[in-house]
Every structure is written in C-alpha cells, then in structure tokens.
Structure 1
Amino acid sequence: MEDFYINNASMDTSYNYSSINDSLDYYVDSDSYEDAPLFIDVMEWIIICAGLPLTLGAIAAVYSLVRNDHVAPVYIINLLISDLIQLCCITVRKYVLNDIIYFTYFYGVMASVGFMVCISLERYLLITQPLWYRFRRNIKTSLKLCVVVWILPLVYVLPLYFDVDFYVRETIFVVVFLLPLPLFIFFLVGTLKALSAARSVPADEKRRIVAILIVVLLIYTLLFLPSIIWSLVVEARENRIFHTMASLLLKLSPLADLTMYVFIRKGIIDKLLASMCGKMFNKQEMNSMSNDNMSASCNETI
C-alpha cells in the first residue's frame, strides 16, 4: 500500500504517494477523521506490548518441540521470527522515519506468507501422502526450504529499494499475495477429503491439522486480503477508512499467528477440537469401515 500523507504544516489535505509501498503508517486529515490517529496509535501499542513478549515466548516454547521427526515447528518458528521482524519495525517506526524500516517490514510480511504456505503444505502432505512424508521428511530439507522462503521476498523488496515503477511494484505485490490463497483452499479441501484414508494418523492429530489449515486460511482471508483489495481496486485506494483498516489488519497478523502454537500443543485445546470435529471424524471413519466391510464381503463372495 502506498503511504497517505497529510501536510500538517499548512493543514491542507494532499495525497503524496511516495515511492514506498507502505501499509506500516497512515496519516489522516484530522478535520474529517479526527479519532483515527489516536485509535491507530493505541492499537499499535497494544499489538507491540502484547505481540513482542508473546512471540518471544512462543519461539522459545516451539523450539523445544523441534525433533528430527517433527518438521512443522521449524516452519512455525520461522513464521514467528518473521512476525518478530514486523513487530520490531512497527516499534521502531514510532521513533524513526527511515525507508529501511519500510523495506524490512514488508520483507517480514512476505516471509510470513511464505511460511504459512509451508505450514499448510506440510500438514497437507502428512494426511494425503503419509508414507512419502514419513520417509522423506527431515530437518535438513525443511531448513533448505526455509532459506528459499527467506530469499523470495527480495523479489518485491528490491524493486522497492530501486524505486521501480509503481504499477510494476503493485503487480508483483498482487501476484505474490494472491498466489497463496488458492493453495490454502486446495490444501484444506484436499486434507478434508483424505482424512478417512489416513489410518496411521491419530484422531487428535487429525483435528489439530484441520484446525491449523482453517486458521491459516482465516488469517490470510481476514487480515491479508483487504491489502490485496486495496492494491486492485481504485475506489478502495481513495477510501481512507478502508486504507486505515486494511493497514491495521495487516499489523494484527503477528498476533493471529500465535494461534499456530496453540494448535500444535496437546492439551485443553484437544477437548475443544474433539467436541467441534468429533462428529465429522466419526462419520468419516464409519463410512470408511463400511466401505472396507463391503470390499471384504465382495472378496469372500468371489
């Protein structure tokens, strides 16, 4: 998103679209939207004060889960690190006006999207390709993929740094941000279809996998999609309230990502998921058992 600036010295409203595609900060005309600066400032401090300690604690806690046979926490740790970068940028932006802060912030945003895709893909493969996943998964492979994800955001950040044409930057922004959406939907739908066939995966693990995929899709749809709409729709760019809310929603993503940690830990959340998803899994298992019995009967007849 392009920054929206108000010339406070002359008190004249002006739209100065800078060379930086920025949703980190947003200034509004105090005459037309008086409460917005205070509201956004308070929300940003809430995000900072809650997000920084919780993210650091979650990184430490998830790190203890990393084992040779447990790959998902590797992606979640990297996701939390990208969120930590965003939170640090939002904090520093309170005191320092620097282009590097803009570049670093969007670098963290795009890295977080990449790791969300990795988490969804890993959960999808665990259900749909359990044998392949069991023998091919390892820490080294996941670390190599993490390196690739950390490099890919440069495709967008470097054009920002070199002040490439606005429409070229917006095209890259939209393409990079739109591609994960159909992937998230595909991973969720494919996982739901393959649940009954995944005999080697415990029921509680199935519930957590589905919950993570749903949470990823919801986070992306609710928090990232408004920014994509802002880039695609001219009317949205001209609506300062929509611009403000899209920017604020994007800043909330580090807090929303903390739910990933909740769903990979066994405990109280399993009881909640069992009550919500138990009927669905039981129905699928009954259908699967019924199909197996029918197949066995046919074989005996033959």
Structure 2
Amino acid sequence: MFYIRHLGSYIVTNTITKCYQHERYFLEVVMWIYVCVCLPLTVLIIYYVCCVMQRSQVPVIYYTNLLLSNLIRICIMIVWIIRVESSMSGIIYNLCEMVGLYFKVCIALERCFFITLPLLDCLRQPKSSVLLCVLVWAFCIVSFPLAIVLHQFIHLRIYAALPGPLFIFCLARTFRALPAATSVPTQEKRRSLGILILLFFKYFVLMIPIYIFHNERIPFEINWIFFLLCPFVDLVLCLFMRQGRIDRLLACLCSSV
C-alpha cells in the first residue's frame, strides 16, 4: 500500500531497486534506522504486552496483532536491504501494512465503545476479540492479493480510505461522551482519549499523504520521513496501554512548562 502511485510495480518489487541512484542512499539509511531501532523495540514491547500487562486493562490482543504485523514488515525490510528480489516480499509487506491499519481501527472502536457504551463490552471479551482478529487477518489475506491479481488497484485506495471516517467518528463521539461517562474513571477517560488522538494524528498527518495522494505531490525525502515516523507512533501507544502512564506523562509536561 505504500507508494500508491505505481502499485503494479512497487507492491511486487524491491522498493530500493525501483529508486534512482541519487535516492537509493537516502532510502537505505532510512531503512537501516527503521530496522535497527524498531526491531529491538518491537520485540521488547511484544514481550512486555504479552507477559506483563493485564489483559483486562486495554485491547491488548489488538495491539499485539498490530505489533506482529509491524514485526513482519521489519523482516521484509531486511530482505529489501540485502537486495533480495522477490515479488512475494512486496505483497506481504503491504498486506501487513493493511492489517496494521485495520487493527488500529479495532483499537479505536474498542476505546470508543468503552467510553460511550461501557455495558457493551463485546470487543473486550476474549472470544469475540479473537474472532475479530481472525476476521481482520482473513479479510486482508483474501482481499489484498485478490486486488493485485485482478489489477483492481483502486480497491486498495478504498481499503486505505475506509478507516478515515471511523477514526473521526470514534474521536468525536468519545470526546462528546466524556462528561456523561460518570461510571468510567477519569484515568481511563484520559487514556482512551489519548489513544484516539494518537491514532487520529497518525492516520491523517502521517499516513494519508502516503496512502491517498500521488507520490509526485510529496518530496521524496518528506515521504520517507513520514514512513519512518509511522512505526514509532505505534510503539508510543504502549505508553497509553499501561495504567497510570498518562497521568505521569501529563504531570511531566506540566512541570516542564
């Protein structure tokens, strides 16, 4: 899904080898930073989420699947750096990017329902959450390669644009429902709102320029800086997953002002 401009070529080939010579060095540096920084952090956070955090606190299962999709993309990035040519690597990379995007939607919906409809906890139940994760993976595994095979690349833009209205709805609905959600602790309200703002920021500030607009409209370096920032935002979500982190973070920010 990255580089929508020439989907037929970028999705099924090594991204580095498709660049011009003067762009290749910059691209390799960005990818090395991506791999060297995000790979150990992603592995550590996956371990932390699975072994340390309480499953009842937040949508841990959705966040874990999000990190797993990021981990697969990092492995594909290593394949690209060592110049291995494989059409399957590009498909798997963009497939995992689509999976990660829809798990962000799952996190946003769960946080929204937790504030607006606290009695409706279907997205937090183990069976329903596992079923939803399976459905997300199945939908992406079937729909993405099918669009590639049928050359229906417009469908990929539609898949990338669909989460936008959902992020807007979740953030707006949650913000309006905060005063009336008296049964929800203040700390949970702050944490849920922080997660939704972070997901909203990532999608509309970092991802939309890559997903929707043609690549010619964005300078090459800025495009890849956006790409480099995206995985760090997913890792920052871990701060919002731990109870009490938001209050301490806000206290630190207030004391520094």
**TM-score using structure 1 length:** 0.74
Look up the SS of the partner of 1:55 in the other structure: helix
Look up the SS of the partner of 2:199 in the other structure: helix
Greater relative contact order (CA < 8 Å, ≥ 6 in sequence): 2
For 1:261, the equivalent position in structure 2 comes to 238
Cα contact 1:71–1:139 (8 A) shared by 2? no
C-alpha separation between the residues in 1 aligned to 2:70 and 2:238? 13
Cα distance 1:37–1:20, how it changes in 2: closer, same or farther (>3 A)? closer
Q: Deviations over 1:238-292 (max 9, x none)?
A: 45x6355435533542222011111111345313336879xxxxxxxxxxxxxxx
Consecutive unaligned residues of structure 1, counting only runs of 5 or more, are: 5-14, 231-235, 278-302
Moved more, 250-259 or 209-218: 250-259
For 1:99, the equivalent position in structure 2 comes to 87
Moved more, 176-185 or 220-229: 220-229
Cα contact 1:2–1:22 (8 A) shared by 2? no
Cα distance 1:86–1:129, how it changes in 2: closer, same or farther (>3 A)? same
Q: Does 1:113 align with 2:101?
A: yes
Q: Deviations over 1:117-170 (max 9, x none)?
A: 00000000000001222x77311110000001111113022332x3x23xx21x
Q: What is the identity percentage for the equivalent residue pairs of Structure 1 and Structure 2?
A: 36
Cα contact 2:190–2:246 (8 A) shared by 1? no
Quote how far apart the aligned CAs of 1:2 are.
Answer: 8.3
Cα contact 1:84–1:254 (8 A) shared by 2? no
**TM-score using structure 2 length:** 0.86
Q: Deviations over 1:88-107 (max 9, x none)?
A: 11111112110110011011
For 2:65, the equivalent position in structure 1 comes to 78
Q: Deviations over 1:28-84 (max 9, x none)?
A: 444xxx3x32222111111101111101111111113243x3451111111110111
Number of residue pairs the alignment of both structures matches? 250
CA root-mean-square deviation: 2.8
- 1:1-302 matches, within 5 Å, as 18-21=8-11, 25-26=15-16, 27-30=18-21, 34=22, 36-63=23-50, 64-67=52-55, 69-70=56-57, 72-95=59-82, 96-133=84-121, 137-154=124-141, 155-160=143-148, 162=149, 164-165=150-151, 168-169=152-153, 171-230=154-213, 236-238=214-216, 242=219, 245-247=222-224, 249-273=226-250
Q: Which amino acid aligns with 2:139?
A: L
C-alpha separation between the residues in 2 aligned to 1:79 and 1:16? 26
- Give the structure with higher Rg (CA): 1
Q: Which amino acid aligns with 2:33?
A: I
C-alpha separation between the residues in 2 aligned to 1:46 and 1:20? 21
Consecutive unaligned residues of structure 2, counting only runs of 5 or more, are: none
